[in-house]
Chain A
Amino acid sequence: MTIENIIEVKDLSKTYKVSERDSGFKAAVASFFKRKFKDVKAVDHVHFSIRPGEMVGFLGPNGAGKTTTLKMLSGLLNPTFGHAKVMGYTPWELRGEYLSAITLIMGQRNRLSWDIPAADSFLLNQAIYRIGDIEYKQTMRELDELLELGDVVKKPVRNLSLGERMKCELAAGLIHRPSVLFLDEPTIGLDITAQARIREFLREYNRRYNATIILTSHYMADVTALCERVILIHHGKLMYDGALAELSRKIAPFKVIGVGLENAADYDLTGYGERTVGENGDAMVYLRVPAEQATSVTSRLLAELPIHDITIADPPIESVIEQAFQG
């Protein structure tokens, strides 16, 4: 492995054995004696490498293998095949030095105890990660400044709003100043403002400490705002690894042409391109056309129809992804 890569993943695979049986009593008895197992390939020979300080977004539909990959990289799961090195460590050996240098933050799981204020949980983490008092105070000050924690940490966690709680969860996961962050749906369930704050924080954290961040999210906005590079996983297989900007060109080379047309319903537009949904409250009609035909279709439209307005744009990233996963 080369020194400039902080994460190296080769042929990483995880196969779950799922016992399957038909319903009914007879099948239950039969499965008691001879269990039938089905192999489910959650992650299938995945390759990639990541340089220090990169922010990479994992994309894929539910069950694509994103979380399984994150869990293997953090060390929670052993792979069935292949290997991974993070900072030179094999994650699933769960070495103390390794665990002290990473963090895994899952938006849907609570690290903090409900009954006590977050500040107490922070103290616990100080002891667990053996952080000296001076360093601890310094880190807390910085996290407080970045996340605007304030008095929130003094209230029992059960009394916090979802957004406040997520801020505290992030702080709790970062007290030991990990250099690699695995984030699984860190903004799930939060309102738009809270999502934006968390994103801003992550960007700033990455900039300040040159931390490597790997992130999965359902919200494309998280990925577009933070990650220049994305890795697409579908059915456990790696589908795309590269710049976010390149993604739409590679996967779905389409343009969206918006047409302003009086009485649009009177015209048959199927000869020009596929109708697609536009922004809300917009009187325009949107057509999706292959990128290389965009110019010719535009001139045809202008020549053949009484058009008073026209726009050409890249398709929104959501629909690109959707397009990619339909295939």
Chain B
Amino acid sequence: MLKIYKNFWLVNWAEQWQYRANLLMYLFYWLVSPIIYLAVWTSIANSKGDVKGYTANDFITYYLLLLVVDQITSNIVIHILADKIMDGAISSEIIKPVHPVLTSTLVYNVAFKALNFIGFLPIWVALNFLFKPNYAAITWQNILLAVPFLIAGFAISFLISAVITSVAFWTTRVYSIHEFYFALVVLFSGQFVPLTLMPEMIQSIARYLPFQLMIYFPIELLLGRLAPGEILHGVGLAVFWFTFAVVAFKIVWKRGLKQYSAVGA
């Protein structure tokens, strides 16, 4: 099994290396909006001293960590998979004895991340010099504790996106549907602002949704701002949503394949 992944990796890496210039351009998309939010909230905090306990430097630290966390937990499943399903290119992968999404798509996504990271890292270091965040609160224990949550965050976001992308077996409007999903992420993950600054109602819903595991939760964990009870809540959340996503993906993928073979694409 490991050998399969290794081979997938070699192929994907070589393929994407050719497009590294393109990848660099796409990095901008990731970078620009967190930096804009950073600027907006530091400007507000500077004018008032703090926003509900967040100082300007707290915001800087939050958004610079957000860039890293988002790099790790985000996924591009829909861009890899949706067109393949709709134009039938997936056929050649379906007939292989390994699961296409859990091998080919997954490895492609991870290779994409790795390559992206090479371009991202120097820019991120430069941003740290520009903004001077305060990482004093980050300890080794926090990092070790955050690693499994980061992996879980990626796993859950990957699987949920895979479920949504599988809708492409039924409809060509999968990109629009994905945009609705993306709006949920923006609303409930802490991408726009630390969740504690969101309206009460949104906070109380976000508490039980998987999206905070992708941004807010790992950041707060790294900064050591979560009480043990909160961390436990996070564990429960991760276990529940991971299980849910696995089951949902299995069901939807199976039905999708059935639909696919019925239509005979």
Q: Judge A-B direct contact (beta carbons within 8 Å).
A: no
Residues of B that sit less than 8 Å from A by CB: none
